[in-house]
Structure 1
Amino acid sequence: MRRALGAALALGLMVAGPASGAETTRTLLAFEDLDGWAEDDHAAALDTFLETCPDLDAPDWRALCAYAQTEGEDHPRRFFELFFRPVLIEDGDPALFTGYFEPELEGSRRRTPRFRHPVHRKPPEAGRQSPWLTRQEIVTTGALDGRGLEIAFVDDPVELFFLQVQGSGRIRLRDGSVIRVGYAGANGHPYRSIGQELVRRGIYERHQVSAQVIRNWVRRNPEAGRELLFHNPSYVFFREVTEVPAHRGPLGAMNRPVTPLRTVAVDPEHVPLGAPVWIEKGGDEPLRRLMVAQDTGSAIKGAQRADIFFGTGAEAGRRAGRLSDPGRMVVLLPIQRAYAQRPEARR
């Protein structure tokens, strides 16, 4: 699964990426320092860890994974406490938690009067030329029509737009079956936020903008709404994902299914993919939970930047879209690797 942006970032509700330029620090903690650690469901976290740990290459990670597969499930909390140490990695920027999700659209394999907005495969010329045509040029000129590039057709151009923002999703057909689609490339133009554009035009204040507000405004103003979507020149192409059953989560950056509220997208420059991470999220709905770093995102930059996967469908989208919270993220590293993070060990 390659996501274009996290849900809140996609709307332009915040600035992405570290800006301080401060030196990265690493502080070794104890499990007693983790707020709510004893109360978490460590077995659920271990199941998520086991989804991707067989793909880790380093000998220490491989040994831990082998033990987890044979012995860890009997005492999951003890497994983490025996073989890991918590490390707080900071780069001078405050922690920021956002959310992402997998959209689910209504659709059809064939164009009908209701289902007439195509979900496209990537045309060969888009790979040879970058940037290629803009979103507006693709939609208004029919450059992809009649070429057999349609995976499916959906009934709502706004939902299709948000599917492209997320970079993957599911399309539920009339017979109840499901097509899962994943990111296959883009037209090479930079993403431009339509949420920011609504604010710039004075239509909404910054704090008023959400995914649902944008959806409603575009539907109330069909012509102006169509033009607003063209403000973003980026256009995402998809492939049909058949290697993962439709009932499971989408593929993350490790090419394994991600798990709702147990998978987090991180910046791999600071947090190794596959590592358990302890989340202490503030905001209106505080969260204390052991998750696993199984995904990345183009807007997820910084040692304390994380995007939490909320699941599939409209409710997951609403929850993910509201999230923009402070807190703290602590990485669990194998013991020797953790002690090597200490300043005196790095000299």
Structure 2
Amino acid sequence: MPDWPAVDPTPAFLAFSRSAPALLSAEAGAWGEPFRAAAEAALRDRARTPDEARRFFEHFFRPARFADDAPGFLTGYYEPELPASRMRSPAFPVPLYRAPPDLVRLPPSEPLPEGLDDAQGFARLDASGRLVPYPDRAAIEDGWLSAQGLELVWLADPVDAFFVHVQGSARLRLEDGSTLRVGYAAKNGHRFTAIGRVLVAEGELPLEEADMAGIRRWLAAHPERAPALMRRNRSFIFFREIEGADPNAGPIGGQGVSLTPMASLAVDAGFTAYGTPILVDAPELIVESTPFRRLVIAQDTGSAIIGAERGDLFTGSGETAGTLAGMIRHSARWTVLLPLSPGEAP
């Protein structure tokens, strides 16, 4: 890695130290064992400078690349900050829902039941005990979950709610001045559809304008068509309240730890284990006047993140982070740092 000396791995060390307790937990099982020595060291000795963080990763990991020489693809996501209410009102008419009781998580290691060939991890258990597809976004918005008491919180705007679904978490400012953090709990099992791609395919937006800002502008300019477009994404996310979260840290990711801005990456967990450090090199992505080349840690996942070299960079919370996240759609080269095997371990 010729550019490694120029990389500041301090934010990645902070992110890895947040992953360390999860890597050492009983729930981590066999996939956490290769990281044990590094995780114990990260909790024991905090790296305070770039040189200390660099030595840590050099000591416990070795670089590797996937055999396929094709570049990967990097996008960005963030934690929206929005006003919200615990109670429905004319000012806050749009709910975020808890997971319903008839939603079933499908075991990833087992064949999909008949009729669920395209199920994305979830299905509905009907009254007869059969597993069937869960209703899609349109059906849920039309009232499928009404009168079940599943509303977690209410938002002011359906477009904001849609993008909270896309991001998977939010930091909400309640009417009494308190803050509520919500995060991903489950989904309805329908495949995610990127509405920006729909707009490009149908000639509504040029590709270069199909970032989050461009999509929002199109939705605002076409309020009569916006609901139908958003329903083209049949995937629907259910949320949970995140209690006891560090107000200075990011949301809780798929690994169950707080995310670190610009140092946490959502990955396809079927290819990349949580806790894995990855050097992402995206020279056409300019951040703070510099081509993006940073060490990040795999700590989250997402329904649109599929494949070995596909990642979603967590950029932080709030509007500025959202602007940056919406701009990231770049080819990138992945260098994975693999934990040293027992024979190699220091």
Task: Tell whether the structures are fold-level matches, with TM greater than 0.5.
Answer: yes
Match of 2:145 in 1: 144
SS in 2 for 1:45: helix
Aligned residues: 306
What amino acid does structure 1 have at the position aligned with 2:10? A
Match of 1:47 in 2: 14
Q: Deviations along 1:20-53, whole A, 9 cap, x unmatched?
A: xxxxxxxxxxxxx241x22333333222211112
Report how far residue 338 of structure 1 moved: 10
CA distance in 2, matches of 1:289, 1:219: 35
Q: Which structure has more strand as a fraction of its residues?
A: 2
CA distance in 1, matches of 2:40, 2:2: 26
Match of 1:104 in 2: 81
Report how far residue 92 of structure 1 moved: 4.1
SS in 2 for 1:316: helix
8 Å Cα contact 1:93/1:304 also seen in 2: no
In structure 2, relative to structure 1, the CA distance for the partners of 1:204 and 1:289 (3 Å cut) is closer
8 Å Cα contact 2:187/2:238 also seen in 1: yes
CA distance in 1, matches of 2:68, 2:250: 31
8 Å Cα contact 2:34/2:340 also seen in 1: no
Equivalences for 1:232-311 in 2 at 5 Å?
232-285=233-286, 286-311=291-316
In structure 2, relative to structure 1, the CA distance for the partners of 1:268 and 1:222 (3 Å cut) is closer
What amino acid does structure 1 have at the position aligned with 2:15? T
CA distance in 1, matches of 2:33, 2:100: 41
CA distance in 1, matches of 2:301, 2:95: 27
What amino acid does structure 1 have at the position aligned with 2:230? L
**Consecutive unaligned residues in structure 1, runs of 5 or more:** 1-32, 341-347
8 Å Cα contact 1:72/1:79 also seen in 2: no
Equivalences for 1:106-121 in 2 at 5 Å?
106-121=83-98
2:327 to 317, 322, 325: 322
Q: Which has the bigger relative contact order, CA under 8 A and spacing at least 6? A: 1
Measured on the aligned residues, the alpha-carbon RMSD in Å equals: 2.5
Larger mean CA deviation between 110-119 and 289-298 belongs to 289-298
Match of 1:203 in 2: 204
Match of 1:192 in 2: 193
Equivalences for 1:206-245 in 2 at 5 Å?
206-245=207-246
CA distance in 2, matches of 1:168, 1:152: 13
In structure 2, relative to structure 1, the CA distance for the partners of 1:271 and 1:177 (3 Å cut) is same
Scaled by the length of structure 2, the TM-score of the pair is: 0.80
In structure 2, relative to structure 1, the CA distance for the partners of 1:195 and 1:45 (3 Å cut) is closer
Match of 2:56 in 1: 79
Whether 2:59 is the aligned partner of 1:62: answer: no
Match of 2:133 in 1: 131
Report how far residue 86 of structure 1 moved: 1.5
8 Å Cα contact 2:285/2:292 also seen in 1: no
In structure 2, relative to structure 1, the CA distance for the partners of 1:96 and 1:53 (3 Å cut) is same
CA distance in 1, matches of 2:191, 2:338: 35
CA distance in 1, matches of 2:169, 2:198: 24
CA distance in 1, matches of 2:270, 2:186: 23
Q: Deviations along 1:60-82, whole A, 9 cap, x unmatched?
A: 52122222332353633222223
CA distance in 2, matches of 1:246, 1:128: 37
CA distance in 1, matches of 2:270, 2:227: 38
Larger mean CA deviation between 201-210 and 276-285 belongs to 201-210
In structure 2, relative to structure 1, the CA distance for the partners of 1:61 and 1:114 (3 Å cut) is same
Report how far residue 299 of structure 1 moved: 2.9
SS in 2 for 1:122: coil
SS in 1 for 2:62: strand
Q: Deviations along 1:102-150, whole A, 9 cap, x unmatched?
A: 222221111222111111122223442542323222223x333333221
Match of 1:178 in 2: 179
In structure 2, relative to structure 1, the CA distance for the partners of 1:297 and 1:314 (3 Å cut) is same
In structure 2, relative to structure 1, the CA distance for the partners of 1:199 and 1:70 (3 Å cut) is closer
Match of 1:22 in 2: none
8 Å Cα contact 2:285/2:328 also seen in 1: no
CA distance in 2, matches of 1:55, 1:120: 27
**Consecutive unaligned residues in structure 2, runs of 5 or more:** 24-28, 104-123, 127-131
Scaled by the length of structure 1, the TM-score of the pair is: 0.79
CA distance in 2, matches of 1:104, 1:297: 20
What amino acid does structure 2 have at the position aligned with 1:133? P
